[in-house]
Amino acid sequence: MKRSHILCMLAMMFAGLPSPSASEISAEQGGIIVLEARIDTSHPPVLQCMGKSWPVEKVDEARWKGWVGIDLATPAGSHACQWQADGLRLSQNITVTKGHFRISRIQVPRRMAEFDPRTLERIRGEIRVLKSSYRVHVEASPPIAMKLLPANGPESTPFGAQRIVNGQPRSPHTGIDIAAPEGTPVMAPLAGKVLYVGNMYLNGNTVVIGHGRGLVSVLSHMADIKVSENQWVKAGELVGHVGQTGRATGPHLHWSVRFHEARINPHALLDAGKQP
């Protein structure tokens, strides 16, 4: 994966030192940006970008680090971020570049592409419950990175692919598909708390793990589920097995990642886990 997903910048200088140009701080749609600020404050500064607050951490004396997730649909171009501390306010621009997303065509039975009002109501209700689980606060402070792939196998559909279902354009693919054989173990990609377990019409057997600091993993289409809600899991712990429940054209694991609800490329976080 490209290193452009993650870019560490020693940037904000309240002391009046020159800031780097905006073009130096960039990531593509679905990436993560790491900002660093030199701010002499005893309590954590607030980092705001794209209408949200993002997690920050003290690096050393007067140096802070913050992580910003670039949602898949963030318009390409310049976006302003702000650090705020002790009445001080400083802006910094980041540049979002367009992701290179391919087109993915699938053919599924009609009942999995066109829905009667009752099924549509069920699907919408399930999505509401799923999305509300992304906002549950989890008392943990992990690194903003994934430790491992949740299943071993070839990637069949990449992040961001524009899906054409039975010839109709649909929403983009917000995770990655790992085409592992039925029964392959599915593991937690990072430690966390199980926030949701359910059998969804489209996603099949699904588990949501909240890792803490607004980082969430969604694992779908499993044959079975081996964890229960509110259970804490370690990285690598068994969550279930690969299957083809819900709307699936064959056995695979769908893994998507949310960071403060932004839809992030799991590879951006796996790459971050490999950084020294």
Binding site for Zn ion (CB under 5 A): 177, 254
- Rounded to a whole number of angstroms, the minimum distance from the CB of residue 158 to Zn ion is 10
Q: How far, in Å, CA of 248 to CA of 172, rounded?
A: 16
Residue nearest to Zn ion (CB): 254
- Rounded to a whole number of angstroms, the minimum distance from the CB of residue 220 to Zn ion is 7
Q: Are 177 and 163 in contact (CB under 8 A)?
A: no
Q: Are 54 and 67 in contact (CB under 8 A)?
A: yes
Q: For Zn ion, which is the closer residue by CB, 28 or 177? A: 177
Q: Are 239 and 233 in contact (CB under 8 A)?
A: yes
- Rounded to a whole number of angstroms, the minimum distance from the CB of residue 49 to Zn ion is 27
One-letter amino acid of 222: M
Q: For Zn ion, which is the closer residue by CB, 4 or 171? A: 171
Q: For Zn ion, which is the closer residue by CB, 22 or 106? A: 106
Q: For Zn ion, which is the closer residue by CB, 71 or 177? A: 177
Q: What are phi and psi of 56, to 5 degrees?
A: -125, 160
- Rounded to a whole number of angstroms, the minimum distance from the CB of residue 60 to Zn ion is 41
Strand order in the sheet with 63-69: 8-13, 32-38, 63-69, 56-60
